[in-house]
Chain A
Amino acid sequence: EIVLTQSPATLSLSPGERATLSCRASQSVSSYLAWYQQKPGQAPRLLIYDASNRATGIPARFSGSGSGTDFTLTISGLEPEDFAVYYCQQRGNWLTFGGGTKVEIK
């Protein structure tokens, strides 16, 4: 089973700042990686798929990069609604989710 390790566990930032979230796979998943956003009491929402493709309706401030084992989700300027938990998920070798990164207001 491929293990996805997300870092940091918590990211404390102010609105307008740039957020950089990391997801590292225990073995290569090629570009088969997605990112989700989850707010309290809500279901996850697909943000990025295949490492760098924005899902329908996702603002351009969200971008993804990486391949193989190292991936990054960047939020170019945090809006108040972006403070949430973010999960990565791979489908390169079956399915696994990372443990999540919480982006909180500093």
Chain B
Amino acid sequence: EVQLLESGGGLVQPGGSLRLSCAASGFTFSSYAMTWVRQAPGKGLEWVSPISGGGGYTYYADSVKGRFTISRDNSKNTLYLQMNSLRAEDTAIYYCAKGHSTSTNSYFDYWGQGTLVTVSS
């Protein structure tokens, strides 16, 4: 059974940093692209950053480019999102999602339960 478990969310002040983690199990982690998708309170879905299975290819939404860094440790089956210079508009539930295929440009067939990031003073 595929499981994705996010952690690391919380309350942070504007300008602060946070590191999210997503522990994966039930599939060959290194074979699939993974993506962080976020959802602001009461709003729709927004892709944040995908990463290829090997970790060599990463992409970022314009809204987070230069501030967020995605990475993965395939030996630990874990996905990360380092978030710096956080802004109020980054407040959202952050989901990690497994790619439906090996491509970073994919659908998402499994999602974690999400972790809430709140940026506020």
Contact = CB atoms under 8 A, between A and B. Distances in A.
B32 interface: no
B114 interface: yes
A89 B107 contact: yes
Contact of A99 (B44, B106, B113): B44
Interface in B71-121: 95, 100, 103, 105-109, 111-114
B44 A43 contact: no
B107 A49 contact: yes
A11 interface: no
Contact of B108 (A42, A46, A96, A99): A46
Interface in A16-48: 34, 36, 42-46
Interface residues of A, number: 20
A1 to B, nearest CB: 9
A55 B107 CA distance: 11
29 contacts: A34-B107, A34-B108, A36-B45, A36-B108, A42-B113, A43-B95, A43-B111, A43-B114, A44-B111, A45-B111, A46-B100, A46-B107, A46-B109, A49-B107, A49-B109, A87-B45, A89-B108, A91-B105, A91-B106, A91-B107, A94-B105, A95-B47, A95-B50, A96-B47, A97-B44, A97-B45, A97-B46, A98-B44, A100-B45
Which 8 residue pairs across A and B have the least CB separation, nearest first?
A43-B111, A97-B45, A34-B107, A95-B47, A49-B107, A46-B109, A91-B105, A100-B44
Interface of B: 35, 44-47, 50, 95, 100, 103, 105-109, 111-114
Given A43-B95, A55-B109, 16 more contacts: A34-B108, A36-B45, A44-B45, A44-B95, A46-B107, A49-B100, A89-B107, A94-B105, A95-B35, A95-B50, A96-B47, A97-B44, A97-B45, A97-B47, A98-B44, A99-B44
